[in-house]
Amino acid sequence: MATTEAIRIAVPARGAGHDLRAVKIVLHREMLRFVNDRTRMLSMLVQPVLWLFVMGTGLGSLVRGAIPGIDYRTFMYPGMISMTVIMTGMFSAGSIVWDREFGFLREMLVAPVSRGAIVVGKCLGGAVVATGQGVVILAMAGLVGVPYSPGLMLSLLAEMFLAAFTVTAFGVMLAARMKNMQTFFGLMQMAIMPMMFLSGAMFPLANLPSWLHVLTVVNPMTYAVDPMRQAVFSHIDVPAQVNAVLNPGVRWGGFQVPVALELGVVAALGLALLAVGVAEFKRAE
Amino acid sequence: MTAGPAIVVRDLRKSYGKVEAVKGVGFEVAPGEVFGFLGPNGAGKTTTISMLCTLVNPTGGTAEVAGHDVVRERDEVRRNIGLVFQDPTLDGYLSAEQNLRFHAELYGVPKSVMGDRIRQVMEMVALWDRKDAKVMTFSGGMKRRLEIARGLLHSPRVLFLDEPTVGLDPQTRAAIWGYINELRRLEDITIFMTTHYMDEAEYCDRIAIIDHGEIVVVDSPEALKAGVGEDRVQIHTADDARAIAALRDRFGLEAAVRDGAVTFSVASGEEFVPRLFAELGMPIRAVSVARPSLDDVFMSYTGSTIRDAEAGGAGNAWMRAMARR
């Protein structure tokens, strides 16, 4: 190399602008990693598609008589969107454990930026990637009798993003302490399976025994699935009694929880988990 | 830029439970200096470097890097240092350039110079032509070079290199040292490094020998070697017996034939050679002067060779594991 003057860089003092750049680059990396990893993209899609088209078709033939005028897969559709989004988000969060194992986390943690910027970047990255994955499921709406109405698509997108952000924050909180991938994925399976089953993603939550009903009400994922289902059902014609069975909404005692409040619950939970995650990374130093 | 020392360490300590990994070390490093921490694995080198880099909090003592306290002014310290760790910290799924871009954004390198600066540091380590390759396709030496480039990217005042050449083959090690020397010429930088290779310590302006968590001695390699003892001089002559007699008669030196040459020890060999030629009174065909090696230095200060020190003590393995956390 010719002896040119070395370019001298003055690292700026910490400030909002600097932290914002950190958030953006952590998010950007998350997206690059995802786009580069086709296998992961595909494998994240297999499960929901299996559930939707194999399980959904099978179950649908069983319950056809009980729910006239609607395809069971239409009912399962919002649940499968959440499932895709949640699994993808969790995987993104899991990459923190991967980063720790392969040393890259250290590169981030010694940088003169706030831990918060790194964690927020990671959560946004997970949310964006998961939403992107959800779009693929969104594209299949027509196959299960859900109309491609712009209003519906937009509200589903926004709800997906919110759910993805919260679940990634949850994953990041778990991952903050984990030293290896096996432990993380073990724990992730343990957390996700019951949350899926109890969220109304697979079967309707109406007329459940009361012990099961209580579990569904405390399950945070219920509040992510229900708004999506309400959105879908408001765009299709369903007989009232079928709607009552498949789309009962969530009740706290006698109180019918409105969609806005449900979304508020998800958002508040996401922010709380994010705060815990940031605190954990600060303490881990 | 302050003119004070680049690093000031006073009575720095670190304990993990009951194990004292670093037992109160103190030293200063001047700006522009290459300062080496030499010692066997498990001696406390990585723990010390981790404290200086703000990664580990000391349990006692103080340390200032680039004029800032490593505990109270952590961000200030971080803005002024570059790090190359013992274990790679690159993202193998990103390209070489993407790794550097990530670093530049994280350190807030101004956008206007970011591209040029990335190119400059990558050219310095001869990796510019591989900038678009994924890092996972790189060899160990290439990764280390890329990490050095990344450590320099934000023009740190102090560059920390933790065992920069461990696990690399001799040619690659030599190449890495070539880059480090080039770097000293181009950038206004202080280098703090750890190593357990004796031959690498020779590149340092000063070295601190650390053993069992304590600094045994700090000085330049030359002074350390001079302090250990005499140089070994070997001469080839036509008549070895006569040469041995002449050495005894004229200089009072005891010589003997070793490895086919007349061999003797003398305080400063290089200064002795002109006198030898002038006063020996017989032709000398060849002469060689060997300085004591740093191995001899290490031996004289710690009572063991660095290899023995590493082999000894089952506690070392987990001390290392702790230190790497």
User: In this predicted model, what pLDDT tens digit does every residue of A174-230 receive, in sequence order?
Assistant: 998 888 888 998 988 898 889 988 998 888 888 888 899 999 999 999 999 999 999
CA distance A144 to A64: 14
**Confidence band of B186 (pLDDT split at 50, 70, 90):** confident
**Nearest C-alpha of chain B: how many angstroms from A42?**
18
Neighbour-count burial of A103, counting CB atoms closer than 10 A to its CB (0-12 exposed, 13-18 middle, 19+ buried): middle
Beta bridge partners of B69: B64
Q: Is B178 on the interface with A (CB under 8 A)?
A: no
Residue A8: its chain B contacts at CB < 8 A? Answer: 155, 188
Domain ranges of chain B: 7-225, 230-291
Res A162: pLDDT: 96
Q: Is B145:B126 a contact under the CB 8 Å cutoff? A: yes
Interchain contact B108–A (C-beta under 8 A): yes
Residue of A nearest to B136 (CA): A102
Residue B52: exposed, middle, or buried by beta-carbon count in 10 A (0-12, 13-18, 19+)?
buried
The string of pLDDT tens digits covering residues B121-172 is 999 888 999 999 999 999 988 999 999 999 999 999 999 998 888 878 888 8
Cα nearest neighbour of B184 on chain A = A6
Beta partners for residue B82, in sequence order: B159
Q: Which residues contact B141 (CB under 8 A, 6 or more apart)?
A: B168, B169, B172, B175, B176
Distance from CA of A7 to the nearest CA of B (A): 6
Q: Is B214 exposed, middle or buried (0-12, 13-18, 19+ CB in 10 A)?
A: middle
Closest to A103 (Cβ–Cβ): which among B88, B102, B110? B88
Residue A271 reports pLDDT greater than 90? yes
Size of interface A-B (CB pairs under 8 A): 104
Cα B3 to Cα A154: distance, rounded to the nearest angstrom = 59
Cα separation, B311 vs B181, whole angstroms: 32
Please name the member of A12, A18, A25 whose beta carbon is closest to the beta carbon of B102.
Answer: A25
Domain ranges within chain A, ordered by starting residue: 19-283
Per residue in B83-100, pLDDT (tens digit) is: 998 888 999 999 999 999
* Interface check B101 vs A, CB under 8 A: yes
pLDDT on residue A2: 44
Q: Beta strand pairing status for B214-219 and B206-211? A: antiparallel
Of all residues in chain B, the percent with pLDDT exceeding 70 is 92
Q: What are phi and psi of A33, to 5 degrees?
A: -60, -40
Helices (H), ranges, A16-101: 16-36, 38-50, 56-63, 72-101
Tokens read off for B101: 């871009």
Report chain B residues whose CB lies below 8 A from the CB of A3. Answer: 186
| Helix/strand/coil (H/E/C) assignment for every residue in chain B | CCCCCCEEEEEEEEEECCEEEEEEEEEEECCCCEEEEECCCCCCHHHHHHHHCCCCCCCEEEEEECCEECCCCHHHHHHCEEEECCCCCCCCCCEHHHHHHHHHHHCCCCHHHHHHHHHHHHHHCCCHHHCCCEHHHCCHHHHHHHHHHHHHCCCCCEEEEECCCCCCCHHHHHHHHHHHHHHHHHCCCEEEEEECCHHHHCCCCEEEEEECCEEEEEECHHHHHHHHCCEEEEEECCCHHHHHHHHHHHHCCCCEEECCEEEEEECCHHHHHHHHHHHCCCCCCEEEEECCCHHHHHHHHHCCCHHHHHHCCCHHHHHHHHHHC
> B109-128: string of b/e by CB count within 10 Å (b at 16+)?
beeeebeebbbbbbbbbebb
Q: Which of these, A108, A105, A92, A116, lies nearest to A174 by C-alpha position?
A: A92
Q: Which residues of B touch A9 (CB under 8 A)?
A: 107, 109-110, 113, 117, 153-155
Closest chain A residue by Cα to residue B106 = A22
Q: Which CATH number fits domain B7-225: 3.10.20.80, 3.40.640.10, 3.40.720.10, 3.40.50.300?
A: 3.40.50.300
**Neighbour count for residue A150 (Cβ, 10 Å):** 7
Contact A10 B155 (CB under 8 A): yes
Q: B233 pairs with which residues across the strands?
A: B264, B289
Q: Quick one: pLDDT band at residue B325, thresholds 50, 70, 90? A: very low
Residue B144 sits at the chain A interface (C-beta within 8 Å): no
Contacts of A37 in chain B (CB under 8 A): 93
Mean pLDDT computed over every residue of chain A: 89
Query: What digits encode the pLDDT tens for the residues A149-174?
Result: 999 999 999 999 999 999 999 999 99
Are the beta carbons of B109 and A113 separated by less than 8 Å?
no
- CA A142 remoteness from chain centre: 22
Residue (of B60, B71, B66) closest to B213 by Cα position: B60
Can you tell me the distance from the alpha carbon of B277 to that of B285, in angstroms, rounded to the nearest whole number?
A: 10
Which SS3 state, helix, strand or coil, does residue A252 take?
strand
pLDDT at B226: 77
The residue of chain B with its CA nearest to that of A96 is B91
**Residue A258 to residue A264: CA distance in whole angstroms:** 10
Phi then psi dihedrals of residue B38, to 5 deg: -115, 130
CB of B305 less than 8 A from some CB of A: no
Q: Which of A7, A22, A103 lies closest to B105 in CB terms?
A: A22
Q: Is there a contact between B55 and A3 if contact means CB atoms under 8 Å apart?
A: no
- The helix-helix angle for B140-152 and B96-106 (nearest 10°) equals 30
What is the layout of strands, in order, in the sheet containing B206-211? B81-84, B158-162, B190-195, B34-38, B206-211, B214-219
Q: Please report the pLDDT score of residue B127 as a whole number.
A: 93
- Quote ipTM for the complex: 0.85
Q: Closest residue of B to A98, CA-based?
A: B91
Higher per-residue pLDDT: B233 or B10: B10
**How high is the pLDDT of residue A284?**
63
Percent of chain B beyond pLDDT 90?
40
Q: Cβ of A107 and B105 within 8 Å? A: no
Query: In CATH, what class is B230-291?
Result: alpha beta
pLDDT averaged over chain B? 85
Q: How close A98 comes to chain B (CA, Å)?
A: 10
- Alpha-carbon gap, residue A168 to A123, rounded angstroms: 5
